[in-house]
Amino acid sequence: MPKGQPTVVPADGLTTRQRRNRPLLMINTGDGKGKSTAAFGLALRGWNQGWSVAVFQFVKSAKWRLGEQTAFETLADLHAERGTGGPIEWHKMGSGWSWSRKEGTEEDHAADALAGWREIQRRLTAEQHGLYVLDEFTYPIAWGWVDIDEVVDTLTSRPGHQHVMITGRRAHPKLVEVADLVTEMTKVKHPMDAGQKGQRGIEW
């Protein structure tokens, strides 16, 4: 809704432009399908605006190569070759974070999740990206691999103009409380209810 009008205008001393361009903390949660897909759509819009975009996948198997990953890597090459859009990075915990070159194992998952979060903290401090997609980040928080209070403190005090999108089921209430935009995906029907497994082009 580019021309949508807010229902409330707060007395915060900000101009309309200042209020409109605040960096957002966003969450896609709920049991329905489409949380990551919607986040990647947001990342496409960010790329088109020339933002630096970084995707961090915290749970999906290293054996899965999502169609979005291939598409984003192609867009990253397009930016490098022609300057079109913005730079894009894609990091997967299950295959060993790209900056560490260390292959993950089952026993390493908690430590790898924390290592990924530490890297995100460093990048936020350095104001390295315009948009961060923390895909399925709600799960390391729920499992106690990453401290929720530290996450909230880091995200609410991040400097500059950095948008953050978090996806995953059962987002922690403390995260929901401080977020600017929260969307809950609700499942009405799903092919798995009828015994159908995920299929190429729909799930990956």
pLDDT band at residue 192 using 50, 70 and 90 as cut-offs: confident
Are the C-beta atoms of 38 and 68 separated by less than 8 Å?
no
pLDDT of residue 141: 96
pLDDT of residue 12: 74
pLDDT band at residue 25 using 50, 70 and 90 as cut-offs: very high
In-domain check, residue 2: no
CA–CA dist 195, 176 (Å, integer): 33
Q: What is the pTM of this model?
A: 0.87
Question: Does residue 98 register a pLDDT over 70?
Answer: no
pLDDT band at residue 2 using 50, 70 and 90 as cut-offs: low
In-domain check, residue 1: no
Q: End-to-end distance of the chain based on CA atoms, in angstroms?
A: 29
Q: What is the mean pLDDT of residues 141-151?
A: 96
Pick the closest to residue 192 from 64, 32, 41 (CA basis): 32
Q: What is the mean pLDDT of residues 138-166?
A: 97
pLDDT of residue 29: 98
Query: What are the C-alpha distances in Å from 93 to residues 9, 112, 116, 170?
Result: 41, 7, 7, 20
CATH number at residue 46: 3.40.50.300
Instruction: Enter the tokens of residue 121.
Output: 């903290």
Domain of 82? 22-164+178-184
Q: Considering its fold, how many domains does the chain have in total?
A: 1
* pLDDT tens-digit map of 42-94: 999 999 999 999 999 998 655 566 788 999 999 999 999 999 999 999 998 86
Q: What is the mean pLDDT of residues 107-132?
A: 93
pLDDT of residue 201: 67
